[in-house]
Amino acid sequence: MIKLNEIGGKHGIGRLDIVENRYVGMKSRGCYETPAGTIMLKAHRGIESLTLDREAAHLKDELMPRYAKIIYNGYWFSPERMMLQALIDKSQEYVNGTVRVKLYKGSVSVVGRKSDDSLFDEKIATFEDDAGAYDQKDAEGFIRLNGLRLAIEASRGRDLSK
């Protein structure tokens, strides 16, 4: 953390000027500097993109604002925080690896990542020969089923473009 704060601080990483809604109803303004936290969060999200299943990642993203609000409002020892913590801990079971980041003029970019627990498989995620992992014809039925609700709306004369 000390080294990341030093390096990130030189690059202007993690400077925030925010207006917050306090739990008691007032607004407050704060200027914060969190270079290490900003770098670590970006790197962590980079490795999660390799190791978390799509729906698990979406669920975690939906719950994190709630988790942050619980902590911000001082409910660290609450049952709801502990329940969310168990879910978050479970989501991190296979999140590990190496991430390379680039720091430049206040921004952090992930420029490389790898993990032994990566769900990415180049042999499958290709439009070339995937050794039978994906059949392009399967997409036809998938697209038709996902468009069904829109076709029903259109058949009722509803204009969804408004």
DSSP label of 76: T
More confident of the two residues 41 and 155: 41
Q: Quick one: which of 89, 113, 84, 95 has its CA closest to 53?
A: 95
- CA 70 vs CA 79, 90, 106: distances in Å: 10, 19, 29
Catalogue the long-range contacts made by 139-142 (C-beta closer than 8 Å, 24 or more residues apart): none
pLDDT score at 40: 98
Q: Furthest-apart CA pair in the chain: how many Å?
A: 62
Q: Are 120 and 109 in contact (CB under 8 A)?
A: no
Amino acid at 106: G
More confident of the two residues 52 and 133: 52
Interval 41-93: pLDDT, tens = 999 999 999 999 999 999 999 999 999 999 999 999 999 999 999 999 999 99
List, in sequence order, every residue forming a beta bridge with 101; answer none if it has no partner: 110
**Confidence band (pLDDT; 50, 70, 90) for 127?**
low
Q: What torsion, rounded to 10 degrees, do the Cα atoms 62, 64, 67, 72 define?
A: -120
pLDDT score at 90: 95
Tokens for 98? 């190496």
- CA 111 vs CA 15, 46, 137: distances in Å: 21, 9, 34
